[in-house]
A and B are shown apart, each in its own frame.
Chain A
Amino acid sequence: MQQLSTKHLLGIKGLTAEDIQLIFETADNFKDVINRPIKKVPSLRDITIANVFFENSTRTRLSFELAEKRLSADVINFSSSNSSVKKGETLIDTVNNILSMKVDMVVMRHSSPGAPHFLSQNIDANIVNAGDGTHEHPTQALLDSFSIREKLGDVAGKKVAIIGDVLHSRVALSNIFCLQKLGAEVMVCGPVTLLPKYISSLGVKVEYDVKKALQWCDVANILRIQLERQQIKYFPSLREYSLYYGVDRKLLDQLDKEIVIMHPGPINRGVELNSDVADSEHSIILNQVENGVAIRMAVLYLLAGVK
């Protein structure tokens, strides 16, 4: 008999370690559900969920939509590219119009950090943050930690290196919060231009040499170079980035231990990660995708249960 301490999932920062454990335990049960012959339960049959995406998304949106349908919720999809937002409608008006259709939950992705927080203060529905700019992406961090727990038995005490474009990554920030709450040690690694200036104040180790980072860690979470968020050049060329920070088989073979490779997707093959690693036995990238559905089912189910 437990419930989440929050009505919304705006970020990992607002969750307690107990909340995260409850989400994991519930996701364990949903992982069992999605591997049954009939992959559907009727829990949310009286709930309507709006997926409101003001930014492009493939994986997260599909994962949320599948999770919602597996829980028997009614689902409506909204994307800003073909909506009245183009005509100048404000965020609050757009969402209030959606809520007038008697929607109970809103899953939102937006390019502005804090957009879901703003919504949660102004509308009466459960809000799930599916990524807000460079701020947080809580369900990605939850599924990443859940995947580590599944692979290594526990997150506590594990050493996790987050490698790549940390500056523009909401995945990195949510992962740092989540891993630390669960007792893992976190290191960030990347070119100095792609690491936030005060990142060490979050209690993470900082490393600029990818070989040292890989030698230190049990798990390497490789991040994509987010060219779409970069207004200036942060490194000379993708080729040079790949040369100094790309993870390939040769690098892994130089280590004196086996490490787990993760990536939130989409992968820029040959840039931050080579195919000989992405498709190898070290990689749990596809497990992350499967776990994403179970984690999102757990989040939606638990939030719907908060009175």
Chain B
Amino acid sequence: MQKRLVLDQKQIAITLDRFCHQLIENHDDFENTVLLGLQPRGTLVLDKLVKRLKEISGVEVPSGYLDATFHRDDFRRRDIPLKANETKINFLIENKKVVLVDDVLFKGRSARAAMDAMIAFGRPKKVELMVLIDRKYTRDYPIKPDYCGRKVNTLESQYVSVEWASQGFAQDAIWITEKEVKS
């Protein structure tokens, strides 16, 4: 299987640091801001981001996990249904600035579902999207990230895999991989 490295551990760390500084610029003291990691993989990015933000700014930004499984538009259209994950939001987002955090932006359908799911917790003042990887020219919905690690050109036959050392991989890394052809 062919693999092409997009970001290595050092580059991911630099990207997360840049995100932190961009957030500080845009959200000042985070008084009215919350961060939501999209289940299942955006939560890993969120955890690292929240930790790094505290180290840099000293502020512990309210954060939570958002699962959009029940709001997806492909239910009953997949071979196997997606398993739901935990939503963990211990606050209302009414009139808050919300930053949705995910690892990869592909067709935009997950982000759309996430916004639908998010509305159950109130009407946000503003919503922004943060992703480590933006797969260019693949969008099905008019959605684009406000904070982006790297834009990449990919084919339908490829997927982006995000590996974290905390999950047992050798190091944090993001790869473009060819999908295995089912014979």
Write the A113-127 contact mask toward B (1 if CB under 8 angstroms, else 0).
Answer: 000000000000000
Q: Are B75 and A43 in contact (CB under 8 A)?
A: yes
Q: Are B81 and A302 in contact (CB under 8 A)?
A: yes
Tell whether A42 pairs with B116 under 8 Å between CB atoms, given A25-B83, A305-B76: yes
- Count of interface residues, chain B, beta-carbon cutoff 8 Å: 22
User: Which of B95-103, B119-127, B133-141 lines the interface with chain A?
Assistant: B119-127
Taking the complex as formed, is A171 at the interface, i.e. its CB lies under 8 A from any CB of chain B? no
Which of A25, A28, A36, A46 meets B120, CB within 8 Å?
A: A36
Q: Are B79 and A42 in contact (CB under 8 A)?
A: no
Which positions 106-133 of chain B face chain A at CB distance < 8 Å? 116-117, 119-122
Which positions 258-307 of chain A face chain B at CB distance < 8 Å? 301-302, 304-305, 307
Tell whether A42 pairs with B71 under 8 Å between CB atoms, given A36-B120, A37-B122, A305-B76: yes
- Give, as a whole number of angstroms, the nearest-CB distance from B58 to chain A: 32
C-alpha spacing A251/B122, complex, angstroms: 48
- Count of interface residues, chain A, beta-carbon cutoff 8 Å: 24
Q: Are B83 and A32 in contact (CB under 8 A)?
A: no
C-alpha spacing A37/B80, complex, angstroms: 30
Write the B45-81 contact mask toward A (1 if CB under 8 angstroms, else 0).
Answer: 0000000000000000000000101110001100111
In the complex, which residue of chain A has the Cβ closest to the Cβ of B79? A307
Q: Are A29 and B92 in contact (CB under 8 A)?
A: no
Which positions 227-264 of chain A face chain B at CB distance < 8 Å? none
- Give, as a whole number of angstroms, the nearest-CB distance from B169 to chain A: 21
Q: Are A37 and B92 in contact (CB under 8 A)?
A: yes
Taking the complex as formed, is B29 at the interface, i.e. its CB lies under 8 A from any CB of chain A? no
Q: Are A38 and B120 in contact (CB under 8 A)?
A: yes
Tell whether A29 pairs with B84 under 8 Å between CB atoms, given A38-B120, A41-B70, A43-B70: yes
List 6 tightest A-B contacts by C-beta distance, closest first: A305-B81, A41-B70, A38-B120, A29-B84, A43-B70, A36-B120
Pairs across A and B, CB under 8 Å, 26 listed: A1-B80, A1-B82, A1-B83, A2-B80, A3-B80, A3-B81, A25-B84, A26-B84, A29-B86, A32-B86, A36-B120, A37-B120, A38-B119, A38-B120, A38-B121, A40-B120, A41-B71, A41-B117, A41-B120, A42-B71, A42-B116, A43-B71, A46-B76, A304-B75, A304-B76, A305-B75
17 further A-B contacts with Cβ under 8 Å, apart from A32-B87, A305-B75, are A1-B82, A25-B83, A26-B83, A26-B84, A29-B69, A29-B85, A29-B86, A36-B120, A36-B121, A37-B120, A38-B119, A40-B120, A41-B117, A42-B116, A302-B81, A304-B76, A307-B79
